[in-house]
Amino acid sequence: MRRANTLMPAAGLVALLLGLSGWQLRRGEEDWRRLHERCVVADGHNDVLLRVLQGYDLTLRHKEGHIDLPRLREGGMDLVFFACFPSPQYVSRGPDDPDSCAYVVRRMMEALRKVAKRVPDQLAVVTSGSEAEEVIRSGRIAAAIGVEGGHAIQNSLDTLEALYRLGARYLTLTWVTSTDWATSSSDESSGKALRFRGLTEFGKAVVRRMNELGMLVDVSHVGERTFWDVMEVSSAPVIASHSSVYALCPVDRNLKDEQIRAIAERGGVVLINFYAGYLDSLYDRRRQGVLGQHRAELDSLRQHYGTDSPRFRALAGELLRPELEKIRPPLEVLIDHIDYVVRLVGPDYVGLGSDFDGISVTPQGIDDAGDVPAITRALLRRGYSEENICKILGGNLLRVFRRVCG
Ligand SMILES: [Zn+2]
């Protein structure tokens, strides 16, 4: 959202009087840009803090990655949830161990607050929807904090509360891996024998405590059993911070129709993930095809440089890029997922959960956060009303943020 251009009506009048058809041609372009600027634009999930911990300066424009402040502003982004993701391999370490999950999350939060301190005129950390609205009104980006992976609380309600007090406003109950108290979509669908499925009693206590605290329960990554347990236990609306539609792309990470309906019935929101493999059911197969065609070259690079070396990754990237570029799904595929949710449950329960900097391949035309306005243009072309476009771009997420976190 940025200030509307007050010169436009006058310029339009002059153009009409002069009968300039060029102005009419340009008008379509200006319409969607102005609409994008008028709407609150919100993103429910990005992983850029992983980069920031490694020294990436969020205030400068970069060629790599999806997110930095200049590109967020170019994309007209107003409210952004920054995910704090700790690697689950350190789950058993004590909370003061520098490698422990809770410690890593605290370092990520601090890193974000440091950025906000350096550029207070551009970005402010917020802990409620009303605070976000104030920051957005002042022309700055509202930065909210989410924690990705229930392992971050290290099986302790005290740690959950400590993370809340430090500013975390959502917790994704699992990541790809299950926790000791909630099973993930990947584990539940793997066919392997699990100790339990869904939420344990402790898992239910986590959800109840989050409801009491005013913290959003995030069901992205969770298995179906966990999902339905959450629906039974949670007294507040829930979000899926970065999940797409199973009916269009049947992968375990996506949401089935009855799950989308349940989120909508309880007033929550589904935020669509931009990853090509979650949007286009043929993408992963096509990608495997490209890798297969270059198997011999990749094997020889691996032998020379080792699989994990940066040199191998750089050369393999160079080798595959032209062909991988060709198989990126078009932007319309992302719009199809938004459209599907709208047709299923109406325009009030869908939004954006890009997963920027956590995913490798985005649809064509969305190379980074600066390209988000293309979504507004595509929704207008699909015949969406301005009111509904504003809801989808950010109004829906902001509504749920306000309702659950104040
Ligand atoms: Zn994720």
Read off the pLDDT of residues 104-131 as tens digits, 9 standing for 90 and up: 899 999 999 999 999 999 999 999 999 9
> Does residue 93 carry a pLDDT above 90?
no
> Does residue 89 carry a pLDDT above 80?
no
> Does residue 20 carry a pLDDT above 60?
no
What does each C-alpha distance from 8 to 11, 22, 23, 29 come to in angstroms?
5, 15, 11, 13
Q: What stretch(es) of the chain map to CATH 3.20.20.140?
A: 15-280+332-405
pLDDT confidence of 61, banded at 50, 70, 90?
very high
- Secondary-structure class of domain 15-280+332-405 per CATH: alpha beta
Helix/strand/coil (H, E, C) string of 59-111?
Answer: CCCCCCCCCCHHHHHHCCCCEEEEEECCCHHHCCCCCCCCCCHHHHHHHHHHH
- Across the range 57-82, mean pLDDT stands at 97
- Ligand 1 mean position to 383 CA, how many Å? 31
> Which pair of tokens denotes residue 16?
């009409």
Query: Locate tokens 């990470």: which residue?
Result: 253
- Ligand 1 mean position to 255 CA, how many Å? 14
- Ligand 1 mean position to 85 CA, how many Å? 9
Q: In 206-260, which ranges are E strands?
A: 216-218, 239-240
pLDDT score for 6: 40
pLDDT score for 16: 53
pTM (2 decimals)?
0.90
- Ligand 1 mean position to 270 CA, how many Å? 14
Residue pair 109/84 in contact (Cβ under 8 Å)? The answer is: yes
pLDDT score for 174: 97
Pick the more confident residue, 222 or 311: 222
> Does residue 91 carry a pLDDT above 80?
no
> Does residue 21 carry a pLDDT above 80?
no
pLDDT score for 4: 40
Note the pLDDT tens digit of each residue in 292-350.
999 999 999 999 898 878 888 888 888 888 888 999 999 999 999 999 999 999 999 99
Query: Would you call 290 exposed, middle or buried from its count of C-beta atoms within 10 A (0-12, 13-18, 19+)?
Result: middle
Residue pair 218/146 in contact (Cβ under 8 Å)? The answer is: yes
Tell me, what amino acid is at 105? V
Task: Please provide the average confidence, as pLDDT, over all residues in the chain.
Answer: 92
- Ligand 1 mean position to 254 CA, how many Å? 11
pLDDT score for 236: 98
- Across the range 85-94, mean pLDDT stands at 77
- Ligand 1 mean position to 40 CA, how many Å? 24
> Does residue 101 carry a pLDDT above 90?
no
- Ligand 1 mean position to 125 CA, how many Å? 21
